Amino acid sequence: MSANDPADAAIRARSIARYRSRAAGYDATCGPTWSIRERAIAALALRAGDCVLDVGCGTGLSLPLLRAAVGDEGQVYGFDQSPEMLAQARARVAAAGWSNVTVYECAAQGLRLPAPVDALLFHYTHDILRSPAALGALLTQARPGAWVSIAGIKYFTGPLALANWWVYMKNRGYNGAPGELRTPWDRIAPHLTDWQWQPTQYGMGYLASGRLRVEAAG
């Protein structure tokens, strides 16, 4: 799939439309997954001075945690294609007065950072994880061995699988390509070493991490 693939563009357009109406109330919906956010960020093993990318940063809820982890000498980048979500992230950065946090309004498929990052956070970014063009662009923005941490939604297994229609509908509200929830990590996992994942939320969520393989990095 190329960076200009029409299917990818249609998925992006659906997502942008969803977040146009969802952005204002987005933060109020994130309370129940706050501990997952904290665990996903902890898995990045950030140190003072590191450079980290918040993939699909949305309203910037992870930015304060990432900024605290890398300190004054570090660098935090974030990007999002939704103007309404990114405007909130920008306001958050301006209100905090951070000089080492930069957010861009752009698609994952077209992101170009000034320097390779040490870590990538994918927190509830299903559309991006399912887009080969987006992953191709993002993984070349990180150094070999960079930590990658992923949290998101997936289908239940076992008896709870009866509720997967509900999981699909829930995901649909937030994504342009809501399906492929059995193993949503299976396009990024082959690019990582030290891969591990665990279920969250009784199996309708997951937390995964690994380190970027040399051949996938920029």
Which residues bind to ligand SAM, rule: CB under 6 A?
12, 15, 19, 30, 56-58, 61-62, 80-82, 85, 107-109, 123-125, 127-128, 134, 174
The residue among 62 and 75 lying less far from ligand SAM, judged by its C-beta, is 62
User: What is the signed CA dihedral for 135, 4, 8, 145, rounded to 10 degrees?
Assistant: 0
The residue among 62 and 209 lying less far from ligand SAM, judged by its C-beta, is 62
- Quote the least distance from Cβ 159 to ligand SAM, whole Å: 27
**CB contact at 8 A, 119 and 47:** no
Give the end-to-end CA distance of the chain in Å, rounded to a whole number. 19
Backbone angles phi, psi at 112, to 5 degrees: -135, 115
- Quote the least distance from Cβ 12 to ligand SAM, whole Å: 5
Can you tell me the distance from the alpha carbon of 26 to that of 127, in angstroms, rounded to the nearest whole number? 17
The residue among 8 and 50 lying less far from ligand SAM, judged by its C-beta, is 8
The residue among 49 and 173 lying less far from ligand SAM, judged by its C-beta, is 173
Who contacts 26 (Cβ-Cβ below 8 Å, separation ≥6)?
A: 19, 58, 59, 85, 88
- Quote the least distance from Cβ 127 to ligand SAM, whole Å: 4
- Quote the least distance from Cβ 47 to ligand SAM, whole Å: 22
Which segments within the chain are labelled E, that is strand? 51-55, 75-80, 101-105, 117-123, 142-153, 192-200, 205-212
- Quote the least distance from Cβ 180 to ligand SAM, whole Å: 14
Structure tokens at 187: 């396009």
- Quote the least distance from Cβ 214 to ligand SAM, whole Å: 25
The residue among 146 and 151 lying less far from ligand SAM, judged by its C-beta, is 151
The residue among 107 and 216 lying less far from ligand SAM, judged by its C-beta, is 107
